[in-house]
Amino acid sequence: MADYFKEVIEQSSLHPKPAGLVLQYGTAGFRTNANQLDHIMFRMGLLAALRSKKTKATIGVMVTASHNPEEDNGVKLVDPMGEMLTATWEGFATQLANTEQEELLTALKDIVKKEEINMNQEASVFVGKDTRSSSASLSQAVLDGVHALGGHSKNYGLVTTPQLHYMVCCKNTHGKYGDATLEGYYSKLCQAFLQLTKNASNRTDDQKHLCVDGANGIGALKVREMESHLKKELQISIFNDGSEGKLNHQCGADFVKVQQKPPTGIDMNSGDRCCSFDGDADRIVYYYTDSQGLFHLLDGDKIATLISTFLKELLVQAGLDLKIAVVQTAYANGSSTHYLENTMKVIVRCTKTGVKHLHHAAQEFDVGVYFEANGHGTVLFSKSAEEKLQQLAEATNINDERKKAALLLQSTVNIINQTVGDAISDMLLIEAILAIKGMTVQQWDAIYSDLPNRQLKVKVSDRRLIETTDAERRAVSPAGLQEAIDTLVKKYSQARSFVRPSGTEDVVRVYAEANTQESANALAHEVSLAVYRLAGGVGDEPKPLH
């Protein structure tokens, strides 16, 4: 044991921590300017090795800052089943990251003791990185950390975040989930796609065509690698492929969602079906422009609606009595909730913002579909649901209708990356559903119309003054705030509004929706004023929106 720690001290001096720098491991791991991350990467290599010894399984470490600007970077750890790092260990990550150089060994030994880790246990860590220029040296720092504790590593090099999650899950299920290689990933997903699209009749080349904005990131490279596996059944034009533009600059899912306009660098005609990935390809949004040149966005809510409708219809057709639910956050558009509950008769569950909460809630159902409005999401199938599908697909004594539905459901399970939201997997699933239903992007968009909405931010002196309940839909403090919001909401038709503290800065986020854009804007402004007055706003009071 002592030998390992000697190695840690020697190696650690090559990755020194700037004194006084404090960072927090959040939902997205650590993220900041790349120049401040070398010591963090080394230490996350150490932590991943410890986590591997503790779980007796392979752990993943992904070097990426997703949709942040090019000059940033970040790191997140992946637990054995491909899920996000468990909460206790997020605490350890923060602790380890902020420990001054001379206290590092003490901090490590503290984790070993608390978690009763056997240091002689083998450790195995998979490492991946995105296309940022800083990712090469930073992923090397992670590997140095793993090796300092005698861990084994496999360096996957350039991969999307969801691909690394997939590799970790394949490894720890001993290949049951798939083959832990890029080739294995492409063939599993694309074979499922080809199986599904066999059920789509006479698609034209136009219908097979899709424009993809790769955010000048890793997603573009990986779509290009995958193309040959699709046998021309999906014909992709890739824009913002990284050959000249800057990562996430005026492109990518986040830009399109926030700006409500197409990315620069994409060449689209009216009615063309287009989608954008984010920087590490774990989010996707769709859009098109109509004949009037108006931009239409199909966000996570629209995606969840399309997928859950498809799954519900197949479950009915297969005669399978499985509980299907859609998990949303308070940000989901009221129209989508209304359509799912009243027209599709699907259970809708609302949780706090953050993928972890959605993922967790989705696990409570046989089939759980979750998407954040920003386009991050996936579908989870319970073990028993997968077994029932398997039995039905192999059964000989059932009618063709049920059998066909069961086989379609099986291919759907195979096309989905259940570990985490995956832009490539979600794109293939959406494309297959549109093909099978013979739907255009316009018809998909018309399933329901979004209620106009508006989001605003109010600067406050201390965001902790605001506490919420009921999945962040109601404020419990400061006193009087919720009553004020309730009164304001009553003034408008089909209106709803909520406020929640930001997870990262001293601002309160305000969401409002109503039957017209004017009403939504007015409500958002009035609620902002209430927050400013009752929750310690700083600076000038919010101005009305013109």
Transcribe 218-260 into DSSP letters: HHHHHHHHHGGGGTTSSEEEEES-SSSSPTTTT-SHHHHHHHT
Instruction: In whole angstroms, give the CA distance from residue 302 to residue 268.
Output: 21
The predicted pLDDT at position 1 comes to 57
List b or e across 336-345, with b for residues whose CB sees 16 or more CB atoms inside 10 angstroms.
Answer: bbebbeeebe
β partners of residue 125: 59, 153
Under 8 Å between Cβ of 441 and 273: yes
Enumerate helices (H) and strands (E) in the chain, giving the number of each: 18, 19
Check residue 192 and give its pLDDT.
Answer: 98
DSSP helix/strand/coil, 351: strand
> Are the CB atoms for 157 and 141 separated by under 8 Å?
no
pLDDT at residue 97 is higher than 90: yes
Range 209-224 average pLDDT: 96
Report the run of H or E that residue 497 belongs to, with start and end: strand 496-501
| Per-residue model confidence (pLDDT) at position 436 | 96
Please list, in sequence order, all residues whose beta carbon lies within 8 angstroms of the beta carbon of residue 341, skipping any fewer than 6 positions away. Answer: 348
> 108 falls in which pLDDT band (50, 70, 90)?
very high
Domains parsed from the chain with CATH numbers: 2-158 (3.40.120.10), 184-296 (3.40.120.10), 300-430 (3.40.120.10), 453-534 (3.30.310.50)
Copy the structure tokens of residue 405. Answer: 């539905």
Cα–Cα–Cα angle for 98, 99, 100, rounded to 5 degrees: 110
**Confidence (pLDDT) at 69:** 84
The CA distance from 469 to 474, in Å, is 5
Q: Is 70 exceeded by the pLDDT of residue 210?
A: yes
Confidence band, pLDDT 50/70/90 cuts, at residue 546: low
Helix (H, G, I), strand (E, B) or coil at 522: helix
Cis peptide bond upstream of 478, omega within 30: yes
The more confidently predicted of residues 236 and 463 is: 236
- The β-bridge partners of 226 are none
At residue 531, the pLDDT reads 96
Confidence grade of residue 200 (pLDDT, cut at 50, 70, 90): confident
Per-range mean pLDDT, top range of 10-14, 16-20, 94-98, 153-157: 153-157
Does residue 66 have a known ligand-binding role? yes
pTM for the complete prediction?
0.93
* Overall residue count recorded for the chain in this entry: 546
Q: Residue 202: which H helix or E strand, with range?
A: none
State residue 165 phi and psi, 5-degree precision: -55, -45
The token duo for 285 is: 């949004």
Gap between the Cα atoms of 39 and 42, Å rounded: 5
Would you place residue 243 in the very low, low, confident or very high pLDDT band (cuts 50, 70, 90)? very high
Residue-wise pLDDT tens digits, 362-385 = 999 999 999 998 999 999 999 999
Q: Compute the distance between CA of residue 351 and CA of residue 294 in angstroms, rounded to an integer.
A: 33
Predicted local confidence at residue 25, as pLDDT: 81
Better pLDDT: 136 or 463: 136
Name the strand (E) or helix (H) holding 451.
none
Percentage helix, strand, coil for the chain under 3-state DSSP, each rounded to 5: 45, 20, 35
Angle of helix 423-437 relative to helix 400-415, nearest 10 degrees?
Answer: 150
Q: Tell me the mean pLDDT in the region 117-137.
A: 96
Rama region for 293: left / alpha / beta (φ>0; ψ in -120 to 50; rest): left
Instruction: Return the SS3 of 88.
Output: helix
3-state DSSP assignment of residue 238: strand
Written as six digits, the tokens of 98 are: 């902020």
Contact between 112 and 50 under an 8 Å Cβ cutoff? The reply is: yes
Q: What confidence tier does 354 reach under pLDDT thresholds 50, 70, 90?
A: confident
Indicate the pLDDT class of residue 505, thresholds 50, 70 and 90. confident
Which strand (E) or helix (H) includes residue 100? none
Spatial distance between the Cα atoms of 195 and 203, rounded to a whole number of angstroms: 15
**Higher per-residue pLDDT: 545 or 47:** 47
- Give the active site residue among 66, 139, 276, 528: 66
Percent of the chain surpassing pLDDT 90: 82
Tell me which residue of 455, 454, 453, 457 sits closest to 537, measured CA to CA.
Answer: 457
What are the DSSP calls for 332-358, one per residue?
Answer: S-HHHHHIIIIIS--EEEEE-SSHHHH
230, 451, 448: which is closest to 341 by C-alpha? Answer: 448
Nearest alpha-carbon partner for 170 in 418, 422, 409, 425? 418
Residue 54 to residue 424: CA distance in whole angstroms = 32
Q: Label residue 30 by pLDDT band (50, 70, 90).
A: confident
DSSP structural state of residue 361: H
pLDDT tens track for 440-475: 999 999 999 999 999 999 999 988 899 999 999 999
Higher pLDDT, 47 or 463: 47
H/E run at residue 78:
strand 72-78
Q: Which pLDDT tens digit goes with each residue over 78-92? A: 999 999 999 999 999
Confirm whether residue 373 is marked as ligand binding: yes
Average pLDDT over residues 525-533: 95
To the query of whether residue 66 is one of the catalytic residues in this protein, the response is yes
Confidence of residue 438 (pLDDT cuts 50, 70, 90): very high
Between vectors from CA 360 to CA 130 and to CA 49, what angle results, nearest 5°?
50
Q: What average pLDDT score do residues 173-194 get?
A: 97
Least confident of 69-78, 311-320, 410-419: 69-78
User: Is residue 347 very low, low, confident or very high in pLDDT (cuts 50, 70, 90)?
Assistant: very high
Alpha carbons 201 and 252: distance in angstroms, whole number: 32
In 3D space, the residue among 301, 299, 298, 326 whose CA is nearest the CA of residue 312 turns out to be: 326
pLDDT at 2: 60
Strand partners, 513: 453, 496
Higher pLDDT, 4 or 117: 117
DSSP-derived 3-state class of residue 329: strand
Query: What residues pair up with 392 in beta bridges, in sequence order?
Result: none
What is the C-alpha separation between 495 and 512, in angstroms, rounded? Answer: 7
Q: How far apart are the first and last CA of the chain?
A: 66
Q: How many alpha carbons lie under 13 Å from residue 94 in its C-beta half-sphere?
A: 14
Question: What does the pLDDT read at residue 202?
Answer: 80
Mean pLDDT of 208-214: 96
- Predicted pLDDT of residue 311: 97
Q: Does residue 189 register a pLDDT over 90? A: yes
Per-residue pLDDT, averaged over 242-254, amounts to 92
| Mean confidence (pLDDT) of the chain | 94
What average pLDDT score do residues 166-186 get?
97
